[in-house]
Amino acid sequence: MDILILIGGFAVLCLAGMPVAYALGLASIFAAIAIGLPLEAVMLKTSDGMDNFSLLAIPFFILAGAIMAVGGMAERLINLAKVFVGFIRGGMALVNIVASTMFGCLSGSSVADTAAIGSVMIPQMIKNGYPRLFAVNVTISGSLQPLLVPPSHNMIIYSIAAGGTVSVAHLFMGGIIPALLLGLSLIILVLIIAHREKYPKGEVVPLRQALKIAADAIWGLVTIVIILGGILSGVFTPTESAAVAVVYSFLVTMFVYRDVKWRELPKLVARVVRTVGMVMIMIGFSIAFGYMMAIMRIPAMATEFFVSISSDKYAFLFYVNILLLLLGTFMDLAPMLLICTPIFMPVIAQFGIDPVHFGIVMILNLGIGLLTPPVGPTMVIGCAIGKVTMEAVSRSILVFYIPMLIVLALVTYIPGLTLWLPSVVLQ
């Protein structure tokens, strides 16, 4: 009955339209009252959940990404991508994917990537003769990559949800090969569709112009070096690298590119503060929710359940993938990580699954949910930019799920794809 109040109350509140963060908090309070637990314990857990030094990386990375998104960085990376792949048949679509890969190393957010890259690429693709739905599908599919490369905010959230026992640096390194595989698989699909549909070719960029474009984009690419190089060399922690990235991106945006006016900064900071506030409230209440789940032995019961239906870890991973794919269609990625990670951590320990590997599987799996109705926040942004309906995109995007699911299967059943790079680079 107590579990029904916690889980059922959360589900009912979400279905009633309440924001996920508040639903987590109220469900925790209802459950605490039901079992006679002092409400102070819930409030203390909420406070403790937000009082974590590692969480400072999230607002810093969000601010750095926001500064670069409005500062013309996305457009410069798109121009750089055109130099490499713009001349191929279907080149504009390939530029979209490659630009998403590069911008993902700056934003760490699927929604931010879609907003920044999509606002430039979707109108350009339509203008150059690409179908509107195809342009939207390529954009939102490519935006799955930022979830898997540094500085992915969701990897930090997963680490926090796992009790801080999983290294953020290992997660950052572990997602790079899966992200590249995803980008490569989308490129292959786009090439097949482009040749079948006879989509247009772009023009070869002259050498002199290409060098100028590269020089213009190099300032932004240095941010990637700061984030990765600082962490890998041991000079910065992930949190410190995020702070340095903010300072660097601010200097480049305001004094080198100068695409942003000083009077626009307060509005930009206000948007970031609003976003960070929402994330922090959700993290705090999710920690309280996880505390209530632990008191009710939900993780232990989940372990017993999965072990009882199969002693094979590969079968367990299959069941988890199916479950997360279904849940991801109804809830956003971050709250699902915060809710599910404490439940699955003792289960993967029982099966001997590496938590870094499992974290990448979860993030990729739930990331696909960002592109599926009825919630699909990334799909919503793409539809708004492309001026198409979610129903139309939901029908036309089906073929793009194929490479995503293939990569998900490879990452799930070949742990070396996620664990090899951290073992080599972070010894």
Phi, psi at residue 201, to the nearest 5°? -95, 155
Which segment of 21-35, 277-291, 391-405 scores lowest on mean pLDDT?
Answer: 277-291
pLDDT band (50, 70, 90) for residue 1: low
pLDDT value at residue 410: 97
Query: Please, which residues have CB within 8 angstroms of residue 278's CB and are 6 or more apart in sequence?
Result: 21
Is the pLDDT assigned to residue 245 strictly greater than 90? no
What gap in Å lies between CA 326 and CA 328, rounded to an integer? 5
Nearest in space to 111 (alpha carbons), one of 401, 400, 385: 385
pLDDT value at residue 127: 85
What gap in Å lies between CA 342 and CA 322, rounded to an integer? 18
What gap in Å lies between CA 80 and CA 212, rounded to an integer? 10
As a whole number, mean pLDDT of residues 81-90 equals 85
pLDDT band (50, 70, 90) for residue 411: very high
Structure tokens at 237: 């922690």
Is the pLDDT assigned to residue 106 strictly greater than 80? no
Taking only the tens place, the pLDDT of each residue in 334-385 is 888 988 898 899 999 989 999 999 999 999 999 998 888 877 888 888 898 8
Q: What is the greatest pairwise CA distance in the chain?
A: 73
As a whole number, mean pLDDT of residues 199-221 equals 85
| C-alpha 229, offset from chain centre | 21
pLDDT value at residue 101: 85
Is the pLDDT assigned to residue 303 strictly greater than 80? no
Q: What percent of the chain has pLDDT over 90?
A: 26
C-alpha to C-alpha distances, 82 to 75, 108, 210, nearest whole angstrom = 11, 22, 9
Cα angle value 205/208/211 (rounded, 5°): 85
What gap in Å lies between CA 334 and CA 154, rounded to an integer? 6
User: 305: phi > 0 → left, psi -120 to 50 → alpha, else beta; which?
Assistant: alpha
158-175 burial, b if ≥16 CB within 10 A, otherwise e? bbbbbeeebbbbbbbbbb
Which segment of 226-230, 250-254, 409-413 scores lowest on mean pLDDT?
Answer: 226-230
Taking only the tens place, the pLDDT of each residue in 178-208 is 999 999 999 999 999 999 988 888 778 888 8
What gap in Å lies between CA 343 and CA 110, rounded to an integer? 25
Structure tokens at 285: 């209440």
DSSP class of residue 6 equals I
pLDDT band (50, 70, 90) for residue 427: low
As a whole number, mean pLDDT of residues 281-286 equals 84
Which segment of 100-114, 352-366, 385-399 scores lowest on mean pLDDT?
Answer: 100-114
Is the pLDDT assigned to residue 264 strictly greater than 90? no
C-alpha to C-alpha distances, 220 to 249, 272, 316, 325, 402, nearest whole angstrom = 8, 20, 42, 34, 32
DSSP class of residue 311 equals S
What gap in Å lies between CA 92 and CA 139, rounded to an integer? 11
Nearest in space to 139 (alpha carbons), one of 404, 358, 383: 383
**Class of residue 87 by CB neighbours under 10 A (exposed 0-12, middle 13-18, buried 19+):** middle
As a whole number, mean pLDDT of residues 211-233 equals 81
pLDDT value at residue 421: 92
* Alpha helices for 162-237 (secondary structure H): 168-174, 176-197, 207-233
As a whole number, mean pLDDT of residues 14-42 equals 86
pLDDT value at residue 174: 94
Beta bridge partners of 89: 201
Nearest in space to 359 (alpha carbons), one of 349, 370, 345: 345
Q: What percent of the chain has pLDDT over 70?
A: 100
